[in-house]
Amino acid sequence: MDCKGQVRSLLRIAARLGHMSPEREWWLRVPGVLVRPRDVFLALRVNDPDDLDARQEPILLLILLAGMSGVLLTSAWSDLLDPGAAGGATLDVLTFVVLTFVAGALEGSAAYFFAGGALYLGARGMGSPGGWRVARQLLAFACVPLAVSVLATLPIGLAAFGGDLFRSGGADSGTGGHIYLAYQLVFVAWSLGLLLVGIRTVYGWTWARSAGAFGLLVVFLAGLAAASNVV
């Protein structure tokens, strides 16, 4: 898209939002990125201090929910309710919920900064002059489907498998469990697709150049994972 087209798109966003406060605008953009992602990613280009401040609370919520979703997808959580699985202890439901919340907050925060940093490096590697902040915020809004998946998948999993969802060898160990995992991974794929769209929109690149930055992001994250395993 040329510069005039981008300006027209930004003006359409402003016209639709009218006289809303910046905070309300950004809360509306959280679900908005699922249906009009380009408009939301274009809005990330705005550098007004009030607009930047207004993004913080929605991003904080996205970090938490996406982090919890990531934690629930790990193998460690698949059998966390097994007797003695938690460092020799058996967790009750309340402890499990609190642990998931805390672990999700930690994982989400780490991903926001480290994966956001990797995205920044990938974009820089493809010639972007953009800063680390816009890369982090782009990543956060691309993760809306992943954040939503906590609310969209967990109730279904609990209804289908109950507590076996977090126990080994339970009702979720067969075909039903595989179908449920595939359903969860749809949201992961959706977020990855949004991330590619966001890179293209925020930086105004071609699909090929955007894919290059995405590829460098994957390389940096793989290197970070390899380094952590060595340590």
Give residue limits of the domains in the chain: 53-230
Q: How many CA atoms lie within 13 A of 97 on its CB side?
A: 4
DSSP 167: S
- What percent of the chain clears pLDDT 90, i.e. is strictly above it? 68
Angle, in degrees to the nearest 10, between helices 93-125 and 207-230: 120
The confidence score (pLDDT) of residue 20 equals 77
Rounded mean pLDDT of 42-47? 93
**Lowest mean per-residue pLDDT among 19-28, 32-41, 53-62, 184-193:** 19-28
Q: Supply 119's token pair.
A: 């995205």
Each residue of 19-33: pLDDT tens digit?
678 899 999 999 999
Model confidence pLDDT, tens digit, residues 181-191: 999 999 999 99
Average pLDDT of the residues in 8-28: 71
* Separation CA 102–CA 139 (nearest Å): 21
Taking residues 57-69, what's their average pLDDT? Answer: 97
Report d(CA 35, CA 108) in Å as an integer: 24
Nearest to 77, CA basis, from 174, 157, 160: 157
Q: pLDDT at position 11, please?
A: 47
CB neighbour list of residue 30: distance below 8 Å, 6 or more residues apart: 58, 61, 62, 141, 144
Mean pLDDT of 51-66: 96
d(CA 74, CA 57): 26
Written as six digits, the tokens of 146 are: 């992943």
* Of residues 216 and 19, more confidently modeled: 216
Q: Give the pLDDT score at 53.
A: 94
Residues 123-163: pLDDT tens digits? 999 999 889 999 999 999 999 999 999 999 999 999 999 99
pLDDT at 15: 52
Q: For residue 231, is pLDDT > 50?
A: no
* Full-model pTM: 0.87
Q: How confident is the model at residue 7 (pLDDT cuts 50, 70, 90)?
A: very low
Write out the two tokens for 24.
């309300």
